[in-house]
Structure formats: C-alpha cells, structure tokens
Amino acid sequence: MKLAIIYDSKTGNTAQCGQWIAEGAAKVEGVEAKCFAIESVDEDFVKEAGGVILGSPSYYALMTANLRTWLLERGGKLNLAGKLGGAYATEQYTHGGGDLVIQSILTNEMALGMLCYSSGGAFGHPVIHLGPVGVNHNKEKVCLEDFKDYFTIYGERFAAKAAELFQ
C-alpha cells in the first residue's frame, strides 16, 4: 500500500518531519511511504495511495499560502476522496499555532472527502490528538530533533490504520 507525505517547507524543518513520518510508516509491512515537496509531487503515486499526510509550517498560525493554493489547485484532481488523511505541522514557538495549522489541513481533507485519522489517545502515550507538531526553537531551548519520536510513532500508527483499511 502506498502512503504519500506531501509538505511545504522553505527551511527544511517540515521536510525533515515528513522523513521521520516515512521512517515510522516503513515499519509497517507492505507499506511504501514516499515524501514529496509540493513543488514536485508524483501525482500518479498519490492517486494510487491509500493514505495521504499533509504537512505545513505555521505561518502566523495558519498553513502556508503555498499549501493552501496547492490544495485548491490540485486537491480535487488527485482522487483523494475515501483515502485516509493525516496532517502535521512545524512551528518556532510552543504556542505558535501548530494545532490550528493541522486543524485547517484536516478541514480541507474532509472537504475533499478524505477519512481523517490521527490515532488520538487510542494507543496511550504519546497521545497525538490532531497530529504531531515539531517545535524548532523556543525559550525552553528545545530543538526539532527532540520531537522525532512523535513523528515516527505517528507515522507507524497512521500506516498501520491505512494498511488495515486498504492493504
């Protein structure tokens, strides 16, 4: 089963988190996870995928204009309806709007007919309510690497659910 991770990323953080999700997803047997920047999406791969995860940096607590534009222009043409949909975000500050970014992406996914999934609290810790958020720097001096586990675990949980539904 194919799983596509599509992101917008200017300085590499959201791309890195997408790689971590793919790493986790690859632990599920039969899952082929691939990452794509929105500028170079393999649309045939996406059309065949059972699951699609979208990622964005927080730009003033919203997804980037580029991702929103890509969704508006390409979203309807990728047979996304009925696929499992997920979302993740990166941000600079702990309270920088990551959850809002995820929520707006999930809203777009639902509008396109996708089945949204995060794993929530179903597997205990770490609880991932809407999707994982990576923080790259803040007053507590955390760095993006400190969030790696959340992304790999989310990737594995998401891929397991997608495989259960579509493999």
Ligand X SMILES: Cc1cc2nc3c(=O)[nH]c(=O)nc-3n(C[C@H](O)[C@H](O)[C@H](O)COP(=O)(O)O)c2cc1C
Nearer to ligand X, 26 or 37 (CB): 37
Stretch binding ligand X (CB under 6 A), from 8-16, 26-34, 110-118, 119-127: 8-16
d(CA 97, CA 45): 30
CB of 14 to ligand X, least distance (A): 3
| Interface with ligand X, residue 82, by CB under 6 A | no
- Which of 46, 90, 132, 156 touches ligand X by CB under 6 A? 90
Phi and psi torsions of 15, nearest 5° = -65, -45
CB of 98 to ligand X, least distance (A): 7
52 and 6 Cβ atoms separated by less than 8 Å: yes
- Which of 18, 51, 86, 97 touches ligand X by CB under 6 A? 97
Token representation of residue 155: 């990737």
Nearer to ligand X, 97 or 155 (CB): 97
Q: Which residue is closest to ligand X by CB?
A: 96
| Interface with ligand X, residue 92, by CB under 6 A | yes
Stretch binding ligand X (CB under 6 A), from 37-45, 67-75, 86-94, 104-112: 86-94
| Interface with ligand X, residue 61, by CB under 6 A | yes
| Interface with ligand X, residue 51, by CB under 6 A | no
CA–CA distance from 160 to each of 1, 63, 70, 77, 146 (Å)? 10, 26, 27, 26, 24
Please report, as ranges, the residues that interact with ligand X according to CB under 6 A: 9-15, 57-61, 90-93, 96-97, 136
